[in-house]
Every structure is written in C-alpha cells, then in structure tokens.
Amino acid sequence: MKARTIAGNAATAALALLLLGPVGTADAQERTGTITGVVTDAAGGQTLESALVRLDSAEAGVLTNPQGRFTMTGVAAGEHTLTVTVLGYEIQQVQVTVVAGETATVNIELTGAALRLQNLEVTGVARAAARVKLPFTVGRPYNTESYAEINENEFKTVGDAPLSTFSIDVDRASYANVRRFIQDGQRPPADAVRIEEMINYFPYQWGDVAGEHPFAVTTEVTQAPWKPEHRLVRIGLHAESIDTENLPPSNLVFLLDVSGSMSSQDKLPLLKTAFTLLVDQVREQDRVAIVVYAGAAGLVLPSTPGSEKDEILAALEKLEAGGSTAGGAGIKLAYDVARKNHIDGGNNRVILATDGDFNVGASSDEAMVKLIEKERESGTFLTVLGFGTGNLKDSKMEQIADHGNGNFAYIDGLLEARKVLVEEMGGTLLTLAKDVKLQIEFNPARVAGYRLIGYENRLLADEDFNDDTKDAGELGAGHTVTALYEVVPAGVGMPGGSVDPLRYQDRPDPPEPTIAPSGFADEMMYVKVRYKDPDGDRSTLLEHPVLDRVGQPSADFRFATAVAGFGMLLRDSEHAGALTLDDIVSLAEAGRGDDPRGYRGEFIRLVETARDIKLLEMEELEFRGWRRR
C-alpha cells in the first residue's frame, strides 16, 4: 500500500530517512521492517479516515485511508513512537518495536475531545498586525454567525401559477453545517437548513450521459410518505464524470483568510491540512498561487507549477493568523493574479477559504456581489469554502459563490475536506454547464397544485427562463442535482386555510379538472432545462415530459425523500404532517442501498442522534447572537 505523505517543510526529508534509511544501501531491507494498523474511535468503534500518523515526532507523516488503515514501510529496526492526530480527538502516542524483515501491527483507539479555546497568541502574515492576543473565553455565549432568511415554499394552484422556475443549486454547505450543530448537541437555526443542499450532499446513481448535452435528465413519481394522497416527483440532473487526469490544466489561486478570527483549530490549522490534500491532487500542468488577507492583502506564493509541490506546501505551512479582515482587497488581488496567469481553455478559478467575515474594505454584501459579478466576466470562477464556528457568515459566502459562477461548501473536518477537495474535485473545479435553469409546466388535467421543496433562494421569475442575461447555477463534472416537487393531484383538495369572500367581485368556484390536449393526457408535467456552455453566451434548451404514473421508488428516491423529510422537521415545517424521526430512519434505511463511502450510514446515525437527544424539542438558537442576515 502506498501511504499518502503530508509534507510541511524540511521535516519531509527527515521522515524519508526514518522510513527508508540511506538511499542506495544494498542491505536496507535486512535492517528495516513495516508498521501497519487501523485507527478507530474508542467509543463507537468506527474507523477514522485521514488521521495523521507520525513516526518519532517527525512533522510529516502518513494519513489513514478510508478504512482507517495506515502503512509505513522501510522503518529502521528498533523502538519507535507513533503519534496519531485527528481533529476532535485526543492526541495518542503508542510505542512499537520494529523487527527487521517483519511487519508490526498496531491498532490504535482514539478518545474524542471537545475543542477548547484558550488565550491564543498568534502572529500575522503579509502586512497584518505583527502580534495580537485574542481573549477567547470557554463557553462564551456570544455568537456572530449569520444566515439568510428562508421563507418556505407554499403550495400554488396550477390555475394561478402553471409554471415553476428556478436555478439549480449544487452547493452542499448546509448539510455539513447542520451536521456540525447536531454533533455538538444543538438544534440548528431554521435558516441554516437549506433542504436542497442537504439532498444534494449525497451521491446518487443515474444512468450514463449520452448525446449532445453534457448532462442527462431523469424523473420518478411516487406517493409522498407524509401525505399519501399527494404525489412526490423527483427530477434529477446528472453531469458526466471526467477522470481527474483528463481535466484541462488548472490555474488556481488560493485566497486564504488569515485574520485573527481564523486562529482556532477548526479554522486555519484545519484549512492548511485541507489544502494540503488538494495540493496532493495538483498535476504538473496545473499552477497554484496563494493570496492571503488579514489587515491587508498579500501575495504569499506567485503562480507556481504543480511540479513544485514542496514549494507550495511550504508556503501553506508558514501561514499564521492575526489582524482584521480585508476581504475585499484580498478578492481583488486574487482575481488580478488569476487574470495574469489565465490559461485559455483551462480551468481558471479562485478558491476562497474563510469563516466569512469581511469587515474591512468592500464589506457590504451588495458591494461584494458587484465585485464578484464584474470579475467573473474574466472567465475565472469562484469556489468558497467555509471553516469554523462562532463567526460563520453563511449568508455572505453563499451569495458571493452564487454570483461568482461557483459553489459553496462547509468544511467541518478532514473527512469533509477530502470529500470536497479530493473525491469531488472534478465537480468542484471544472464547470461543464453554466446558468442552468429549470422551468416546469404542470398539466391542469392531472395536477391541482404543487410546491417545490427547498430552493427558496433560487426561485426565478417565469420570464427569466428565456432571458440569457439572467445568472443561474453551474453544473460541474460528475455533479448531480435533485429537485423534489410535492404534487396535489387533480380532484384532491388543496392544503391551506380559507379566504374571506371578496367585497367587489365574486370569487370563482374552484375550476373542475380540465381535459388535456390530445397526446398529452398522460402527462403530469413538462420539464424544460436551459444551460450555457462554460464560455458561451447563448443557452441551449433540453425538454423532458413526466408521465403521471406512480411507481415503486428507487433506493435513491427513498433516501432523498428521507433527507428532505429530515430537513422539514428541522425547519418545523407545517407540511411535514405526522412525520417523525423514526419514520426518517426507516425511509433512509430502505434507501441506504450501495453506500461505499458510508455517507448514508452517517446520515442515519445523525438522525438517530437527533432522536435520542430529543433535538426537535429544543428551541432554536435565536439568542446568543444568532441572527439572520
């Protein structure tokens, strides 16, 4: 097994000597052995991926694989100390004896530990403050996280609104953020729960992509589990996957927040390790530059070929936190660097990593959006990665990512960093279609009303669908997009309260179900999709009819429904009916299917945790500084 090495500085060479011994020695194998083992959680027994295992206090080491296993070969015979580190666990040291020519097996159990903020002394970088002390207090009640207000979509009658139009959303930040709250034993604010992002966090199985379009459209119809007389319709978009080696060359600019608010372990230290994983994926034909901002912005690393990984990693390792947050200046400098190193036909992208606080310079949301919209015309797209707690500006980060033709993810640990920056790197870094919009027309002969589940901040006016100047979402390589509609069949009463009689005119009686034109009688709805090529200005139209045929849902459909139901319960939605967390677990178990990465299993455990701690009985965090945008 080939171990993945984390290199920070000259310690890499020292580790190589420890592991491999002097190069070219004929009898090296006779004097060395192998260390292997598995790292697990002491309480739950689950294996821990991306735990850093270091030998004899070296700064570099190897990461455990997805099964929690690590292997070190060529270790000098004798007594050694392994140090195992992973965020959220106590550091563990283990003694091991290596015998020449043999393999020593060491299985290591780690004990969970809450992150504690003490008085931290940090030094600035670039032109930031030289030294600053941050008086953090354990258990401090004040919190400045902010979330954009979400008003849940209500049912609409087909007679009043035959069309439903929205932009796709491939962001996944909300699920990771919600997971963070629940794992901390807290109920997330309702506005932190974006149901479409929770659904789209999980990979789903779709058919192959074929034909002239870079993605395919698939649909399913079944009964809504929380209201069986209603239909539930799943609309899926699936982009073709592209092997990492076949991606076009990338011109990447890392824009890293190193302000004082980034000093805690779940921010800059985690950020540095996460970007180390990304650098490990960079190829020789790619280029990487690093821009940082604190009290001011600075270029830490000019655009550097991917073949110079040691130089890139060394620049990352030197970063320290301190100062205020000149986010606007940082973004301007990052785009300038990207523009100067633009690769025609390549993937030109700024990757912003921050806790979201832009309090110096162009700090208002409106000014920031205008800046991002102006710069995206250069052909450089934007990815935003959120880190940390207590200062997360979710509303601002999501907004600038959307307007920068990019995506937004929240990194709550190394496993999530690996998912976003390694497993999903193709979709994160390569856009196949931009300004992707959907418009659904409902057949009044089959449908009395409907509501779109989620996508509240992605709704568009009906006329925006054919307007190619209107911005919409981007679809990356391998991305899947799922949208769920709850449909009221014709002849079934619409949910909602009564309306007083009109004073000045008679209110017409509810219309009787109409007769569809010949040839469309079996259709429930008609799906239209518009998209542009990544460098195009004119959209292409894709159309797909949906028949009114209720069938047994696929495992993917069952699971997506479970996630949607969980989101509805977290938001205390009036449309959840009598749905319970036990129902969610049952739905998710039925939809677990093939789960090679364990994401669905993790979701089930998360719902069980919410049930066991009686999460739905907790009040939302409307106090302690939680606020809407």
pLDDT tens, residue by residue, 245-273: 788 899 999 999 998 888 889 999 999 99
Among 124-133, 328-337, 576-585, the range with the most confident prediction by mean pLDDT is: 576-585
User: Is pLDDT of 297 > 80?
Assistant: no
**Which residues, including other chains, have CB under 8 Å from residue 284's CB and lie 6 or more apart?**
305, 306, 307
Q: Name residue, tokens 């849902």.
A: 553
Tens digit of pLDDT for each residue in 74-89?
889 999 999 998 766 7
Q: Are 170 and 407 in contact, with CB atoms under 8 Å apart?
A: yes
Is CATH 2.60.40.10 what the domain over 4-110 is classified as, yes or no? yes
Q: What pLDDT was estimated at residue 553? A: 95
Alpha-carbon gap, residue 53 to 60, rounded angstroms: 8
Q: Are 6 and 61 in contact, with CB atoms under 8 Å apart?
A: yes
Q: Name residue, tokens 């600038």.
A: 400
Tens digit of pLDDT for each residue in 469-488?
999 999 988 889 999 999 99
User: Is pLDDT of 119 > 80?
Assistant: no
Burial status of residue 47 (CB atoms within 10 A of its CB: 0-12, 13-18, 19 or more): middle
Tens digit of pLDDT for each residue in 372-421?
787 777 788 899 999 998 888 888 888 888 888 788 999 999 999 999 98
Q: What is the dihedral sign for C-alpha 404, 410, 416, 418?
A: positive
3-state secondary structure 136-165: CCCCCCCCCCEECCCCCCCCEECCCCCEEE
Alpha-carbon gap, residue 606 to 187, rounded angstroms: 12
What is the arithmetic mean of pLDDT over 522-540? 94
**SS3 of residue 409 by DSSP:** strand
Q: Are 464 and 167 in contact, with CB atoms under 8 Å apart?
A: no
Structure token digits, residue 204: 């789903």
Q: What is the DSSP string of 209-222?
A: P-SSSSEEEEEEEE
Q: What pLDDT was estimated at residue 513? A: 59
Q: What pLDDT was estimated at residue 535? A: 84
Q: Name residue, tokens 């700024």.
A: 350
What is the arithmetic mean of pLDDT over 152-164? 95
| Alpha-helical runs (H) found in 430-580 | 555-570
Strands 250-257 and 287-293: parallel
Q: Are 431 and 536 in contact, with CB atoms under 8 Å apart?
A: no
Q: Residue 282's pLDDT band (boundaries 50, 70, 90)?
A: very high
Please tell me which residue, 135 or 177, carries the higher pLDDT value: 177
Tens digit of pLDDT for each residue in 204-244?
988 788 888 999 999 999 999 999 999 999 999 999 888 77
Mean pLDDT, all residues of the chain:
83
Residue ranges of domains in the chain: 4-110, 156-171+189-242+441-493+521-617, 245-429
Q: Which class would CATH give 245-429? A: alpha beta
Q: What pLDDT was estimated at residue 117? A: 30
